[in-house]
Amino acid sequence: MARLIAYLAVASLGFVIGVMIYVIGVLVLPWLIQSFPSLADLIASNRQIIEALLSGFIGSLLSVVIAYYWASKASEF
């Protein structure tokens, strides 16, 4: 039962984060690009920013996989 509650908490947190990312992507990002036109050029032309975003995404996926592996190992004892 505790594992189910933990998964539901993580899923709920992921849902809230996903909604926040959607709002940022739909409302805030277009406003930023319209307000600061050089921002889109900076992101598109700067390889380091794109690599940092990809590294962050891969890091978040890896941390979820590690946490899942750790949780499954901890339940065996």
Q: What is the pTM of this model?
A: 0.46
Residues 73 and 54 in one domain: yes
In a domain, 68, yes or no: yes
The encoded tokens of residue 61 equal 């996926």
pLDDT in tens, 18-70: 888 888 878 887 887 788 878 777 777 878 878 888 898 888 888 888 888 88
| pLDDT at position 10 over 70 | yes
The number of folded domains in the chain is 2
Domain carrying residue 24: 1-36
- Model confidence at 76, in pLDDT bands (50, 70, 90)? low
Rounded to the nearest 10 degrees, the angle between the axes of helix 47-74 and helix 37-45 is 70
| pLDDT at position 77 over 60 | no
